Amino acid sequence: MDDKLKSATLPDDLRARQILDQHHHGLEDLKQRILEYLSVLILNQQKSTIYHAPILLLVGLVGTGKTTLAKSIAEAMGRKFVRIPFGGMGSALDLRGQSRTYPDAEPGQIIKNIRRAGAKNPVILLDEIDRVAESARSEIMGVLVELLDPEQNAGFTDHYLDYPFDLSQVLFIATCNNTTNISTAVMDRLEPLTMPSYNDEEKIKIARDYVLPTEIKNASLPETALKIDDAVWPQIVRPLGFDAGIRTLERTIQGIVRKTAKLIVEGKGKEFYITADNLKQFLPTY
């Protein structure tokens, strides 16, 4: 049976667990908290009850899986997913839009992404809310207070529309690297969840069981085209030393897969087995 079909036939709580396990290795404590959070949302969704869920704030270093986790939550709930990047945002008008009296006016990111999702109840990821421009921080934090407060967001007004828009059905999730630059008023409306760093053993498991098969599929290679000896994974995991997330690891594996694709296209073989003897031929040069 197709994985998506099997997932659709499971009870909501088991389907949510399956989706989290499918996309994320380990993180058991974090998964339990998210499942508890989702359970309340599922019960209220089944009864068509209006429930103002706390806004999750995923706090963690770069590459620890914050965005992917937010996508998994949206998938588990069967909702559309859209992302608003806050990195370098220099004006509150980027969120709230600009009045149509200006010739270059347009709606803000909130309304744009509601339209992009094509639904009134999407999951909207407010990504890296700690990285807005310093000059606009206080204004943007003021808009965030309105967005994240269920008593206010039912009548959110975009300057371009100039008419209240109900955001009460939207599920917001926020991310940040640290909470230092987030205002107290915004933090008061958020429920922080800490994303842990990955150790080498966890990275090897993630790379071998999740990242490598995905990158082989993305490169349109046969499943048997590339095998990696267990003994060389520690060197692949740490080509440049330790980092908390898996971004560098993903880039390393992508480089290995691309080199394999090149060899296949050049007719130098159809299946390759990477060992300590030939690893340097496949590792990308940084």
Per residue in 174-225, pLDDT (tens digit) is 999 999 999 999 999 999 999 887 888 888 988 898 899 999 999 999 999 9
53-68 per-position pLDDT tens digit? 778 999 988 878 899 8
Model confidence at 12, pLDDT cuts 50, 70, 90, reads low
pLDDT of the residue at 255 = 92
Q: Which residues pair with 123 in a beta bridge?
A: 81, 171
Helix (H) or strand (E) holding 176: strand 171-176
CATH of the domain at 164: 3.40.50.300
The confidence band for 20, taking pLDDT boundaries of 50, 70 and 90, is confident
Q: How far apart are CA 53 and CA 169, in angstroms?
A: 10
Please indicate, yes or no, whether residues 113 and 254 belong to a single structural domain of this protein.
Answer: no
Of the listed ranges 22-26, 178-182, 225-229, the least confidently predicted one is 22-26
User: What is the Cα 53 distance to its own chain's centre?
Assistant: 19
Residue 13 pLDDT grade (very low, low, confident, very high; cuts 50, 70, 90): low
Lowest mean pLDDT among 70-79, 143-152, 231-240: 231-240
For residues 247 and 118, membership in a common domain is answered with: no
Across 11-15, 73-77, 127-131, 228-232, least confident range: 11-15
In this structure, are 215 and 128 located in the same domain?
no
**Residue at token pair 């590339």:** 226
Quick one: what percent of the chain has pLDDT higher than 90? 48
pLDDT band with cut points at 50, 70 and 90 for residue 140: very high
Provide the pLDDT for residue 49.
Answer: 62
Cα angle at 96 between 123 and 61, to 5 degrees? 50
100 and 189 co-located in one domain: yes
pLDDT of 157 > 70? The answer is yes
Q: How many residues are present in the chain?
A: 286
Whole-angstrom distance, CA of residue 114 vs CA of residue 95 = 12
Domain boundary among 174, 194, 214: 194
What pLDDT is recorded for position 127? 95
Q: What is the mean pLDDT of residues 137-155?
A: 90
Give the chain's mean pLDDT. Answer: 86
CA 132 to each of CA 43, 101, 191, 285: distance values in angstroms, whole numbers, following the listed order:
36, 26, 20, 33
- Are residues 136 and 227 both part of a single domain? no
Q: What per-residue confidence (pLDDT) applies to 243?
A: 67
Q: Which domain holds residue 235?
A: 200-282
| Number of domains the chain is built from | 2
**Which of 128, 162, 194 is the last residue in one of the domains?**
194
Taking residues 35-48, report their average pLDDT. Answer: 77
Residue type, 244: A
Q: How many angstroms separate the CA atoms of 272 and 224, rounded? A: 8
Residues 125 and 77 reside in one and the same domain: yes
| Digit-coded pLDDT (tens) for 97-112 | 999 988 889 999 999 9
Last residue of some domain: 194, 229, 244?
194
Residue 219 and residue 186 share a domain? no
CB neighbours of residue 233 within 10 Å: 19
pLDDT of residue 241: 56
* Cα 87–chain centre separation: 15
147 and 24 housed in the same domain: yes
* 49 and 172, same domain (yes or no): yes
Q: What is the DSSP string of 67-82?
A: HHHHHHHHHHHT--EE
pLDDT band at 27 (very low <50, low <70, confident <90, very high): confident
Is residue 225 domain-shared with residue 148, that is, in the same domain? Answer: no
Average pLDDT over every residue of 236-252: 76
What CATH code is carried by the domain that includes residue 234? 1.10.8.60
78 and 114 both lie in a single domain:
yes
What global pTM score does this model have?
Answer: 0.79
**Residues 189, 184: Cα–Cα separation, whole Å:** 9
| In a shared domain, residues 166 and 102 | yes
SS3 113: helix
